[in-house]
Structure 1
Amino acid sequence: MSNQPVKRGYSAATLDYVGARYLGVAEEKCSYTSQEVRIPMRDGINLVADFYNPILPNDQEPAGLLMVQCCYGRGSGISFFNARIFAARGYRVLFVSTRGTYGSEGDFNPAVNEQNDSQDIVKWMRQQPWYPGTFATLGCSYLGYSQWALLRDPPEDCIAAVIPVALHDQAWHAWGTGSFRLDRATWSDLMSRIGDESGNFLTRLANLPGLSFLRSTELDEAAAGLPLEASLKNYFNDKAPWLFDYMDHPNVDDPYWAKRRQQIALEKVNIPILLISGWYDTFTTQTMHQYKHLSDRGVNVSLIVGPWTHPQGSGLRSMPEIMDFLAEHVAKTGKYGRSKARIFITGAEDWSSLPDWPPQVPSRTLYLQTNTGIGSEQPAQDAAPSSFVFDPRNPTPSIGGNQMATGGRVDDSAYGERSDVLAFTSEPLSQDLEVIGVPSVQLSHSSDPPFADLFLRLSEVNSKGVSHNITDMYQGLDPNRDMSQPLKLNLQACAHRFRAGTRIRLVVSGGSFPMYARNLGTAEDRVSSDRTVPQKHTVSLAKGVSQLILPVSHDGASVV
């Protein structure tokens, strides 16, 4: 080890106390010391970490050891959520800066070195006199990805993991829809500014995920330029080279992505895991996949999904549950005591405890109708189709949802007023209708030219005519598809109660920008071309071929 342990000061103790009260966790058990250490990697570079050690009476042992890998620094704010709040409750914490960030040597290359580095950290921990023989992992977002990278080859002495709002598959997130996800540029902008803990606080704050509304509009302007790749390169200059590697590898099965995909961890891990997500998180779909895969294997996995965005779901709203989980599986002093799946039902604005997710419920089929209606009756054989034109030069905007920076449940009424959107809307419901699970859409759809994308959104329209988003999906379409066959598309999972008097809305558009790189309407690469062709989308309605299928747990509603 290097340096000497430093006792917690008054200002840190005050922040710890106020922060813990805000998060609703139990009182502290102790103070702690922190000590900077250096951890050697197999290739000769050293990672820098802070080791937090609780100050306990002589007859008490620490509650356990937590290992956290973080690429966002080790300053006071982020260390509170990832280390100090736990150290003050008796846990030892090793808080490590990712390779190439905040004092750790080497170059930062996202998602490439975490597998080997995490194993080397574990090897080093085992050699320390304070190592208790077992450890757990912790951390949200990219910190959660680092956990999946470790669990690709699970150490026998890793006994539990807390993984909020995290992806395990970088390729799936970047290109899984067939279009490039542009929050990779927002995140890369943050990571291109990595360095020491000095510098203007607001500058760093403005680039934290979820708070990028504080930054300048230069990146947004660059993302709007064509060709997209050239415009972003002009903005980044020589920074964030990985972003352009991502853009140049649109095939998720390309060998380039192999090290960046940790699906194998879901096949091999067999320890208690707590997964946390939000209905408006950037990685909700991946968290749901993680839960389903682990649950089907019989792994001891628990799931919490709240009405949260990415920052809210990171643990800010679920720290008491995290503490209870650690008390059972690490400290061995308590019980988690909650259902396997704890789900927030929007609309009802209440939590539901479920034995599993998604629940087995019946489905309700509604039909898209002429004059952009939705109802229980099938349209006639001669029902006229509906159509719209998507213009890549004036793309349909992203409004709320699962965006990194400006996501959430928002007023998306603007979609109903745009000419490049079809907003199929029901009559007011006569009774409550609770949708819980994975809604799907069968769509008889064609486009001219065949190069096109689809954005679908389920929303609720209240009695005042104001629409709010519930869930959505995006899909780049195969230009060689058989347009005579209906598309079958799953939206992201949701849990929402439509109250009596509200209306169901299905939004259909050809894009969602800047959440996804727009389809240019040509056979040319969407990130390297600047040639655009407007795309006419046509949705056939005859005899109910286009449908909205809802999984419902409470169905007393009449939809005409």
Structure 2
Amino acid sequence: MTPRTETVAGLATDVLLPEGDGPFPAVLVRTPYDRLRHRAELRGWARHGFAAVAQDVRGRYASPGEWHPYRDETADGAATARWIRRQPWSDGTLVAAGGSYAAHCALALALDAPEDARPDAVVAAVPALGPAETAREPSGAERLAARAGWWAAHGDRPDSDEDALAEARAADPGLLTHLPLTDLPRRLGRDLPSWPDLWRRRTPDGPGTRARTARIPLLAVGGHHDHFTADTVALWRRWGGPSARLLLGPWGHGLTAAPGPGAHPAHRIDLGTLYARWARRALAGRLRAGRAGAVALGGSPLWLPATLEGEPRTQRLRLLSGARFTADPEHPVRSDDLTVPAAGTPDRCLLVTAPLPRPLDVAGPAEARLRATADTPSADWAVRLVAVTPGGTAERLAVGVGRRADPPGRPAAFTVALGPLARRLPAGTRLRLEIAGHHFPAHARNPHTGEDPVTATRLAASRRHVDAGSVALRLPVLPSRPTPLDPAQEITR
């Protein structure tokens, strides 16, 4: 089965029709990552009876024009959707589908296009919702490494170089430490005019902010080890359409192709077949109303209902060190290293639980509550939860970064959200909670001067004090062994 190439709305578009006379329901994938890479996916949709369409977005690969990330997707998607519905092989129904930036394209079409161009259902996998959502945590902390990697690979160019940032960092190991961060394009040696504009957007402006206006079914798919996990869950919770389904596994941004810690063979799913089954039922109006879905419990073979959350319980913590520590942006706590320094001036507050006396199943949002002081006008509080096995192996479970602007020297009580968890923790596991001032390079360094971390050129150390007795780790603990379910049945019911 070989797609034929068309020019639709001036853009390079592949179309693959199923066998038979039609007309057929259609699925549209709009991507900046080269439509030719989606040919196997198109064949899968066609085998399930869908007319499959993949399109290079404006200014990328075979599509002419200028590439402006996130700017033209609603208008170009609407023109393509209208073209599809005019074709003799189309039965008039349309599913918008995609992963990462392609999920943004699908959601923009579903939420922002004129009524006559909107799809009838949407599949959004690891959705990169919009510029502000992808660039910052809800607290405002900048997601540096992920955005630098994406812009180096894809930004302001007609094709992609997936290794661009890795190669640049190999040549210049301190690449991401250079200030200001707006100077990154010069360090990379190429133009990135959209890079500074990314950081000017401070309030969420992507499809996720308008999810409550949706009027069609949604299938949201994500991974617990993806940097957009919380966004995926929030999209599902906010969705205003007649039905919303969530599928969340112990996967990374590549989903089942990138299993993470805690993955079990039972967590491998034929996503293509599941998407097609869900789409058929969605287009026929046969999905039960409301929110439902399946979440894999990492460390076990189980799948649980997406609506199942544990009872928040506070875990007892013992202070190991660093009730007083220095957050020095010249020597930040690193996001890519779980090693804890054994000597020198403390750079983080360390607390730990006793070994778990029995296995612990956690499912739902986790958080850390604390009372703490910084002597600088701006301070990030990076809280990392780590599981330490009886053999001493450390594994990151969750991270949250809260940005505060409390009066210097004045204690403040606050909560740092750690995101959704779904994990079985074996007996004997110790939970280590690290409270630091940085989580670099995953997140940009707060300069502690009150300046914007993206444009700052000066750094200052920040002395911190954590009231260790106030620290509470709140985990959503399932009270009893949960009843498993079949994820495919749950998604399509």
Q: Using structure 2 for the length normalisation, give the TM-score.
A: 0.86
Contact 1:324-1:335 within 8 A present in 2 as well: no
User: Helix, strand or coil: the match of 1:350?
Assistant: coil
- Inter-CA distance 528–555: structure 2 relative to 1 (3 Å threshold): same
Matched residue, 1:233: 185
User: What letter is aligned with 1:395?
Assistant: P
Contact 2:169-2:175 within 8 A present in 1 as well: no
Asked if 1:343 is matched to 2:309, the reply is no
Q: CA deviation at 1:278?
A: 0.5
Q: CA deviation at 1:531?
A: 1.5
- Inter-CA distance 191–205: structure 2 relative to 1 (3 Å threshold): closer
- Inter-CA distance 501–215: structure 2 relative to 1 (3 Å threshold): same
Contact 1:141-1:314 within 8 A present in 2 as well: no
Asked if 1:98 is matched to 2:57, the reply is yes
Distance 2:60 2:174 in 1: 27
Distance 2:366 2:11 in 1: 45
Matched residue, 2:367: 440
Distance 2:175 2:312 in 1: 44
Asked if 1:78 is matched to 2:31, the reply is no
Distance 1:286 1:159 in 2: 22
Asked if 1:319 is matched to 2:319, the reply is no
Asked if 1:187 is matched to 2:124, the reply is no
Asked if 1:69 is matched to 2:40, the reply is no
Q: CA deviation at 1:546?
A: 1.9
Structure 1: which 5+ runs fail to align? 1-31, 41-45, 197-202, 254-259, 373-384, 400-411
- Inter-CA distance 517–440: structure 2 relative to 1 (3 Å threshold): same
Indicate which of 504, 515, 519 corresponds to 2:446.
Answer: 519
Asked if 1:449 is matched to 2:376, the reply is yes
User: What letter is aligned with 1:206?
Assistant: D
User: Helix, strand or coil: the match of 1:271?
Assistant: coil
Contact 2:17-2:50 within 8 A present in 1 as well: yes
User: What letter is aligned with 2:377?
Assistant: P
Q: CA deviation at 1:206?
A: 3.3
User: After superposition, what is the alpha-carbon deviation per residue over 1:423-442, rounded to whole angstroms, capped at 9, x for unaligned?
Assistant: 31111111122221111111
Give the root-mean-square deviation of aligned CA atoms: 2.9
Distance 2:479 2:303 in 1: 13
Distance 2:173 2:92 in 1: 48
Indicate which of 252, 258, 272 corresponds to 2:203.
Answer: 252
User: After superposition, what is the alpha-carbon deviation per residue over 1:311-331, rounded to whole angstroms, capped at 9, x for unaligned?
Assistant: 12589953332232134234x
Distance 2:438 2:243 in 1: 39
Q: CA deviation at 1:241?
A: 1.0
Matched residue, 1:376: none
Distance 1:351 1:219 in 2: 44
Indicate which of 112, 119, 130 corresponds to 1:158.
Answer: 119
Structure 2: which 5+ runs fail to align? 259-267, 482-493
Distance 1:335 1:301 in 2: 9
Asked if 1:427 is matched to 2:354, the reply is yes
Indicate which of 178, 184, 194 corresponds to 2:140.
Answer: 178
Asked if 1:281 is matched to 2:226, the reply is yes
Distance 1:216 1:485 in 2: 38
Question: Highest CA radius of gyration, 1 or 2?
Answer: 1
Matched residue, 1:473: 400
User: Helix, strand or coil: the match of 2:320?
Assistant: coil
Deviates more, 1:156-165 or 1:142-151: 156-165
- Inter-CA distance 459–416: structure 2 relative to 1 (3 Å threshold): farther
TM alignment of 1:199-278, pairs within 5 A: 204=161, 206=163, 217-218=170-171, 221-230=174-183, 232-237=184-189, 239-247=191-199, 249=200, 251-252=202-203, 260-278=205-223
User: After superposition, what is the alpha-carbon deviation per residue over 1:210-260, rounded to whole angstroms, capped at 9, x for unaligned?
Assistant: xx7577624764222122222x0312455221111123x15327xxxxxx5
User: What letter is aligned with 2:282?
Assistant: H
Matched residue, 2:96: 137
- Inter-CA distance 204–261: structure 2 relative to 1 (3 Å threshold): closer
- Give me the identity figure in percent: 25
Matched residue, 1:112: 71
